[in-house]
Chains A and B, each alone.
Chain A
Amino acid sequence: MIESKIVKLHKMLEEKEISCKELTQRYIDALQKDNAQLNAYVTTTPEAALEAADKVDEKIAKGEKIDILEGIPMTLKDNISTDGIRTTCCSKILEDYVPIYDATVWKILKSQNAVLLGKTNMDEFAMGSSCENSYFGGAKNPHNIEHVAGGSSGGVASAVGGNIAVYGLGSDTGGSIRQPASFCGIVGMKPTYGAISRYGLIAYASSFDQIGPITTSVEDAAIVYDVISKYDKMDSTSQGRKGAPVCDTLKNDIKGMKIGLAREYLDGVRDDVRQSVEQAAEIYKSLGAEIVYFDLPALKYALPVYYILACAEASSNLGRYDGIRYGYKAESYRDVNDMIKKTRSTGFGDEVKKRILLGTYVLSSGYYDAYYKKAQNLRGTIVNSFKNAFKVCDVILAPTVPMTAFENGHAVSDPVETYLTDICTVPVNIAGLPGISVPCGYNANGMPIGMQLIGNTFEEAKILNAAWQYENAANIYKSSDFGVKL
């Protein structure tokens, strides 16, 4: 059984085996030592972390009860707005931007005295699959720093996988939580679109973006999800969790649960990854679940649909970075138009500019129907295909990524191949479904392999239940050598 770090630490704090200050200090020390190699954090906030820890210790000293996430050292991806703490999206254009308000998720966690260790690395504006598009350089894989942590939430995955944060919140637009979790051998969940407030999450593609937890165990993901899945009046698309807390049903048995497998998800997947997923199916059978096979032909449209729609939204979302109100501004310019042009040309990295150009193009009059509109229609087709799939199964089992973590520099050298590696993760975002990546093996070089469980909308409880049962039965999680040993 993979133990829940959060439960364990919560008990230690409650039973005064360790003070929150001590615990926080251990993480700060480990972070300061290991971050040089992992490059997981781009901003650290040790003073604020210790201040929060003091508050928790005071409560414990007074004999007050503490909430489950209270005093637990954690991190946020650097696109989640934090009042008074710079939030850069790992872009030059926001290098010195300090928000004046808190994202709703951080507001919730702050109210529970979560101990924020710092903000973590990511691909610039969450665009990328290796974290190497970060203005601050990429985060490294804690299982082998010659490899990337994945992206775009590479910093959170590197920090959690490297044990320099107990858990973290990332954002997932096309796989940005699940893919780095898979690369770093940990758990990452992208909840149903609307389950968690996006207020304060700096937008990449608004109809795809969703915040979610990155943890070392399924139980931790469930705990964090229960806390942050609240309806928020500041986000019109927010609905909150539907039904009971997912922790209530996490460990239920799964006899008779129908696990769906689609051939299309296994096409073009590397052998070691496919074998791991097939072995997982065997484990499910042994747990009393039923494996059902179905076709998902619409999957072939997923990548173009994703890149067209996400880039279209991004081209609009990123229009506001003009150097006028906040962030980087070009040093010399002739007039206001020149200022905006120069600010954007030098403030954004290449991948971001590429996606803005693509998005602008597909929305332009004369091309709108051929690209944007067609992609919207196909989005509907994909949504319906999944609806039909969930008539025959409860959850879908698939690889998270067709391969294991790239070596450093590979993604940059072959951008199109890198786009293609998003094939297994983007369908979930297109359809607004919940998906979770769980470690399911290691390749010959010891690099982690992840599998993905996909559920129908607002059925996080089902995928977490299936994930927990697998994790418990397979018991394959290996910690990296970095960070705090508990």
Chain B
Amino acid sequence: MKYELVAGFETHVELATNTKIFCSCTTQFGGEPNTHCCPVCIGLPGTLPKLNKKVVEYAIKAGLATNCEIAEISKMDRKNYCYPDLPKAYQISQFDMPLCNHGYIELSNGRKIRILRIHIEEDAGKLVHSHGSTMVDYNRGGVPLIEIVSEPDIRSIDEAREYVEKLQLIMRYIGVSDCKMQEGSMRCDVNISVRPEGSEKLGTRTEIKNMNSINFIAKAMEYEFNRQVDLIESGEKVVQETLRYDDVTNTTSSMRGKEDANDYRYFRDPDLVTINVPKSRVKEIATELPELPAQKLERYVNDLGLPEKDAQLLVKYRKVAEYFEKASDGTKNAKTAANFIIGQIFRTVENESEKEKFDVNVSAENLNELIKLIDGGKVRMNLAKSTLDKMLETGKKPSELISESDMAMLDESALTELCKQAVESNPNAVNDYKNGKEKAIKALVGFVMKNSRGKADAVAAESKIKSIIINN
């Protein structure tokens, strides 16, 4: 029997606000343990939380960018559980009235992965084990998070991968998070079940907790899918449980038994007032949103005439798209800028995080200048390509690398002169051409290009050479 995978995601994204969700401590990653802390975020007796307005704003942005409805009224709740990294013994979160509801993310295959809700909450601290003892670092405690909960709409590992990548991309675009999975600023829990293909009924699900790499997610899901299928095939039952993924053995294992099932005793946090978000404020925030990757992709293809594949490469990183837009600004053909970026500039950027920063040796302004020289007929493509390589090496402007004489256009008489020379010095090629070898003309054009150091217009040269040969 064939089985279908059914998966949903709970994704925690750390918001890139400067200060924590309930106090004014910095949210910076790292730092000496317990130095990014104050009485409020270590929960000293008598302290009270004060909701950071930026957190609400960022979460609304995340909601709008994922097509959610923004609740006019929401509230903060306490999720009570006892663990040393949680200094108040409760996490301030949102339970039954989250800030954002009912959104979706559209995948490239056209399927929409529905988003049930997005809520805001505080992160916990971190346990540090060393020399047989355990210490707690509360620097991360109180860093704002959003939890994005999807419906179980994902049907394959490829879809899962694309969903996470899309979320990451959107959050980075709108500037609410850097979504660095290796630093924990984006973490995923996956709910996964299997069912016979064609069945409508959901199977029993398991939850794989806290994964911080897209590759691990894919591997864990694959392992878990096979494990569940094997269980069912052998007549056993899938047990609803929480699992941990071990990336060394590539297996999942149970984190806690059912008997330990937590009762979080949620109730409204009496220390915080109702969150009111008037519709007018949502509109305001919507206008502040940048163009989203999906919108950019559409525009690049439809308005700028880029091939979809190229457009996808450009929108994948916000900085790259911005660079492209600056470089192609005011030029005749956006494709030229796209080709330069994808063909030449990308080669100098090694990994994901460099692409993310896209801090390349050629400024967008300089590339724009180069393309405008091409547009103006002052520089031929071959010269432009070699110039761009030099620009990448030196960081210099095109005008610093191309001399006046290089740029001076070959005038009509000089071109005629060169073409005549080509015919005179290459009798063999001329003969070949006369005997019907069309290709022989290329050698003659090559002569002109070489001797003009690339300044000649190849098309004009070809027609001139042809007319010289015919008129001879």
B89 touching A316 by the CB < 8 A rule?
Answer: yes
Asked if A287 is at the interface of the complex by the 8 Å CB criterion, the answer is: no
B48 touching A326 by the CB < 8 A rule?
Answer: no
* List of B residues within 8 angstroms of A97 by Cβ: 45
Instruction: Choose the segment among A155-163, A229-237, A250-258, A265-273 that binds chain B (4+ C-beta atoms closer than 8 Å).
Output: A229-237
Asked if B374 is at the interface of the complex by the 8 Å CB criterion, the answer is: no
Chain B residues numbered 391-405 whose CB sits less than 8 Å from any CB in chain A: none
| Residues of chain A at interface, number, CB under 8 A | 43
Instruction: Choose the segment among A39-47, A201-209, A274-282 that binds chain B (4+ C-beta atoms closer than 8 Å).
Output: A201-209
Asked if A198 is at the interface of the complex by the 8 Å CB criterion, the answer is: yes
A237 touching B44 by the CB < 8 A rule?
Answer: no
B42 touching A325 by the CB < 8 A rule?
Answer: yes
Chain B residues numbered 175-214 whose CB sits less than 8 Å from any CB in chain A: none
- Report if A320-B87 is in contact (Cβ < 8 Å); known contacts: A206-B271, A340-B82, A364-B263: yes
Asked if B49 is at the interface of the complex by the 8 Å CB criterion, the answer is: yes
* List of A residues within 8 angstroms of B39 by Cβ: 99-101
* List of A residues within 8 angstroms of B44 by Cβ: 81, 99-101, 326
Asked if B25 is at the interface of the complex by the 8 Å CB criterion, the answer is: no
Asked if A199 is at the interface of the complex by the 8 Å CB criterion, the answer is: yes
Asked if B447 is at the interface of the complex by the 8 Å CB criterion, the answer is: no
* List of A residues within 8 angstroms of B301 by Cβ: none
Asked if B136 is at the interface of the complex by the 8 Å CB criterion, the answer is: yes
A236 touching B48 by the CB < 8 A rule?
Answer: yes
User: Chain A: interface secondary structure?
Assistant: loop
B263 touching A319 by the CB < 8 A rule?
Answer: no
Q: Nearest Cβ distance between residue B267 and chain A, in whole angstroms?
A: 6
Q: Which listed residue, B45, B49, B271, B272, touches A99 by the CB 8 Å rule?
A: B45
Chain B residues numbered 22-58 whose CB sits less than 8 Å from any CB in chain A: 39, 42-51
Instruction: A320 to B80: give the CA distance in the assembly, Å.
Output: 10
A320 touching B43 by the CB < 8 A rule?
Answer: yes
Q: Which listed residue, A206, A324, A360, touches B270 by the CB 8 Å rule?
A: A206
B273 touching A236 by the CB < 8 A rule?
Answer: yes
Q: How large is the interface on B (under 10, 10 to 19, 20 to 34, 35 or more residues)?
A: 20 to 34
- Report if A202-B45 is in contact (Cβ < 8 Å); known contacts: A316-B78, A319-B90: yes
Q: Nearest Cβ distance between residue A76 and chain B, in whole angstroms?
A: 12
Asked if B131 is at the interface of the complex by the 8 Å CB criterion, the answer is: no
Asked if A150 is at the interface of the complex by the 8 Å CB criterion, the answer is: no
Asked if A94 is at the interface of the complex by the 8 Å CB criterion, the answer is: yes
* List of A residues within 8 angstroms of B390 by Cβ: none
Asked if A200 is at the interface of the complex by the 8 Å CB criterion, the answer is: yes
Q: Scoring A residues 346 to 364 as 1 if CB is less than 8 Å from chain B, else 0, what string do you get?
A: 0000000000000010011
B89 touching A322 by the CB < 8 A rule?
Answer: yes
Instruction: A202 to B266: give the CA distance in the assembly, Å.
Output: 21
Asked if A12 is at the interface of the complex by the 8 Å CB criterion, the answer is: no
A-B contact pairs, 10 of them (CB 8 A): A79-B46, A100-B39, A198-B48, A200-B46, A201-B46, A313-B270, A320-B88, A322-B82, A340-B82, A364-B263
CB within 8 Å of B: which residues of A?
Answer: 79-81, 87, 89, 94, 97, 99-101, 103, 198-203, 205-207, 233-237, 312-313, 315-316, 319-320, 322, 324-326, 336, 340, 360, 363-365, 368, 372
CB within 8 Å of A: which residues of B?
Answer: 39, 42-51, 78, 80, 82, 84, 87-90, 134, 136, 263, 265-267, 270-273
Other 15 A-B pairs with CB < 8 A, given A234-B50, A235-B48, A365-B265: A99-B44, A101-B47, A198-B46, A199-B46, A199-B48, A205-B270, A236-B49, A237-B272, A313-B270, A316-B89, A319-B80, A320-B89, A324-B84, A325-B43, A364-B265
